[in-house]
Each structure stands twice: as C-alpha cells, then as structure tokens.
C-alpha cells in the first residue's frame, strides 16, 4: 500500500494508475463472488468460468503493467486489460439477458466495468500518443 507521502507527491498519471488498480481489484473480488454464486446456486459452469477468467484478468494485466520493460510493454498490458474488461462486459450482459442474474445485479457490475473501461481507454490513448511522438 502506498504511504500518504507517496500519494501526495504522485503525478496525475500515477494517481490515475493507483485508482485503476484499486478499481480493478475490487471488481475482481466481485467477479469471484459472482462466479461462486453462479457455480453453486445457479448451476451454471460455462459462462461462470469465462467471466472468472476475463474479470480477474483485467486486474492481473494492470498489475503486470506496474513494472513495464518499455512504453510499448506498458501499452500492451493496458490494451489486454481493456480487451478483457470488454469481454467481461459481454459476459455480464449475457448473464443478465439469460436471467442468471437480475438486472440490478448486472447493472451494478456493468457500471463498475464501464468505469474501468473508460479509464483504460484514457490511459491507452495517452500512452499511444506519447509513443507516437
């Protein structure tokens, strides 16, 4: 965990990264709980396995990006996280539309997923433009 000193002196980019890491971890925890619910209460195994992989992969790729070998490596990890978040969004909509979860449950998770996607899009665009310069 970062000290208050590190947070105070973090650049805006660093603060954005800290925020996305926290959001992705919280989201991954919720996805794990959803997986357990689907597997044991809804008797659903195929989609639950898919959403577990994609939903937790978002945070894993963001975490990997903390120590990149280059800007291109960083961009690659963030792009993968973005793709995984988009895939997770698809699985959430499918679970909702097939009535495995309620609209309210789906909307809550979809809102979190959407926030993560928006932040990742911003990061990818900024790093892409920096690399092109």
CATH of the domain at 55: 1.20.1440.60
Q: Return the axis-axis angle of helices 12-40 and 103-132, rounded to nearest 10°.
A: 150
Residue 6 domain-assigned (yes or no): no
Tokens of 38: 């689907």
Task: Find the domain containing 41 and state its range.
Answer: 11-132
pLDDT of 14 over the 70 cut: no
pLDDT of 8 over the 70 cut: no
* pLDDT at 112 (0 to 100): 97
H or E element that contains 87: helix 71-97
Tell me how far apart the alpha carbons of residues 52 and 39 are, in angstroms, rounded to a whole number: 11
Question: How many domains does the chain contain in total?
Answer: 1
The closest of 81, 94, 95, 118 to 34, measured between CA atoms, is 95
What tens digit of pLDDT does each residue of 69-126 get?
999 999 999 999 999 999 999 999 999 999 999 999 999 999 999 999 999 999 999 9
Residue 116 domain-assigned (yes or no): yes
């Amino acid at each position: 965990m970062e000290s208050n000193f590190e947070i105070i002196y973090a650049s805006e980019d660093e603060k954005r990264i800290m925020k996305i890491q926290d959001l992705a971890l919280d989201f991954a925890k919720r996805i794990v709980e959803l997986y357990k619910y689907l597997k044991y209460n809804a008797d659903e195994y195929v989609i639950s396995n898919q959403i577990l992989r994609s939903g937790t992969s978002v945070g894993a790729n963001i975490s990997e990006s903390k120590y990149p070998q280059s800007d291109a490596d960083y961009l690659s990890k963030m792009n993968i996280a973005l793709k995984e978040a988009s895939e997770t969004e698809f699985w959430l909509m499918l679970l909702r539309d097939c009535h495995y979860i309620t609209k309210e449950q789906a909307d809550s998770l979809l809102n979190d997923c959407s926030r993560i996607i928006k932040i990742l899009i911003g990061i990818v665009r900024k790093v892409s433009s920096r690399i092109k310069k």
